[in-house]
Amino acid sequence: MTIGFILNGEDVVIRTNAEQRLIDILRGTFQLLGAKAGCYSGHCGVCSVIFNGEVVKACLIPAFKIRGSEVITIEGFSQTDEYQDIVQGFADAGVESCGFCDTGKILAAEALLSRNTRPGREDILMAFEGIKCRCTEPESLISGVMTVAERRRGRLYGRGA
Ligand code: FES
Ligand code: FES
């Protein structure tokens, strides 16, 4: 089948079979390697992308659902101020990372902060339930996301917001 969609702001057309997963199309056809292939069953979050404005797991999206959609990978998201808030905030807070699930953590943070710029501890833990990370302790994650949130409020509304 031939399908067209928007990938990181560009119109693209590919030939694929209906059952191929979005994660394999991104990595195999487009060499976009920021989303990783992990469990292939929706449990680890390393394959996260923004799909029609929502953060989703690309291993769960078959090709036939991609037609006409808008997909933003971490490579596209890295061009935004929102991405800078997150990576700088995580770095400032000293969030531990081996890098393997960074895409999942960054996009989980974005999914939360795009609807709540002042999240509490429970909001953060809930938002990261779908990310299985071996490296980051929950307290580190909470402090990291709160630092990002403060940074984002400062950027959007001014210091002290
Ligand atoms: S590879 Fe998609 S959630 Fe694990
Ligand atoms: S940063 Fe190492 S598995 Fe998450």
Mean pLDDT of 11-24: 95
Residue to mutate (ligand 2; options 133, 140, 141; most atoms within 8 A of CB): 133
How is residue 76 annotated by DSSP? H
Domain ranges of the chain: 2-74, 81-157
Nearest to 75 by CA among 125, 13, 47, 33: 33
**Ligand 2 pocket residues where CB is under 6 Å:** 97-98, 100-101, 133-136
Predicted confidence band of residue 161 (pLDDT cuts 50, 70, 90)? confident
Average pLDDT on 136-145 reads: 96
Is residue 9 very low, low, confident or very high in pLDDT (cuts 50, 70, 90)? Answer: very high
Average pLDDT on 31-36 reads 97
Evaluate if residue 160 carries a pLDDT over 90.
Answer: no
In the predicted model, what is the mean pLDDT of the chain?
95
Confidence (pLDDT) at 159? 73
Closest residue by CA, ligand 1 atom 3: 42
Nearest CA to ligand 2 atom 2: 98
The reported pLDDT for the residue numbered 71 is 98
Residue spans of alpha helices (H) in 114-137 = 121-127
Give the helix ranges, DSSP H, for the chain.
Answer: 22-24, 74-77, 81-93, 102-113, 121-127, 138-157
101 CA → ligand 1 middle, Å: 10
User: Does the pLDDT of residue 19 top 90, yes or no?
Assistant: no
Instruction: Average the pLDDT over 45-60 and give the result.
Output: 96
Select 81-157's CATH number: 1.10.150.120, 2.120.10.30, 2.40.30.10, 1.50.10.10. 1.10.150.120
Contact residues of ligand 1, CB 6 A cut-off:
37-40, 42-47, 57, 59
Q: Which of the two residues, 59 and 158, has the higher pLDDT score?
A: 59
The whole-model pTM stands at 0.93
- The residue among 88, 125, 120, 126 whose CA lies nearest residue 106 is 88
Rounded to whole angstroms, the Cα distance separating 112 from 119 reads 8
CATH number, domain 2-74? 3.10.20.30
> Does 2-74 match 81-157 in CATH topology?
no
What spacing in Å lies between the alpha carbon of 157 and ligand 1's midpoint?
A: 35
